[in-house]
Structure 1
Amino acid sequence: AYLHGRLIAADLIALGITVDCLPVLDVRFAETHAIIGDRSFGADPDFVSRAALRQTDGLMDGGVLPVMKHIPGHGRARVDSHLDLPRVEASVEDLHAKDFRTFRMLASQIPIAMTAHIVYTALDAERPATTSPIVVRDIIRGE
């Protein structure tokens, strides 16, 4: 993962690009849409966090600022968020135990995040995370 980050950074720096929307911190779940697929480091939040941190180190050592995504987690989405609005029905406890865990573990290491355009019904059934004060203010910034 470190080498992957360094190689990506070298290509981007050669083009004059100094920011990249990596790492993908989404935890993969069975029976969900393939939009995240192999962009995720896997189904284990601890492994995802470790691999993403190494990729982040590679990007930063190569002169590229990383942007973690898709906070607070895209892994449970059952539809492509580029085409439809996913609704995640997981409980708050399940979201905190797996989905949000990777972001909490790396929040102090990566200064910028891209939000997930997903409705988390247990948090805010009316708005996607990108426009939800509950998710952005209370969950992402507050926790």
Structure 2
Amino acid sequence: MDRNDVLILEALQKDSSRSIADLAELAGVSASACHRRIKALEASGVITGYAAQIDPHALGLKLQAFVEITLTSQSREAMERFERAVADFDEILDCHLMAGQADYLLRVAAKDLEQYDHIHRDCLAALPGVSAMRSAFAIRRIKRWRGYPVAG
């Protein structure tokens, strides 16, 4: 990746709806060269997709919970079974395999504690092989994720 690719990636992470012409001007290349660069970044797997950033509060999702999961076993089979089950629940927004005390860290959004209780009972409690679950609730977001640092 060269400096132009970095400029394109930074701009797309901030606003993926920018036109090719805008991106080309920003990077100092022609529109056709910019289009080729974007297609090459997609083909190489650097760009994996495009999405809108949605304010969860606008959807009524005022509660963000981070749930630490510890499994009864860390065998490959137990972990694969757990990971397949996580993929079946849209209520689980993110799932990360962790190093440290917990095996996994999940992120869940809910309208309120009552809805989180339903998610906890109907979704999280249904996950296979869980020996412990600890929930922590975000009070407020301090910094919004704006993309990966691509320069440097």
**TM-score w.r.t. structure 1 length?**
0.26
Higher percent of residues as strand = 2
**Greater C-alpha Rg:** 2
**TM-score w.r.t. structure 2 length?**
0.24
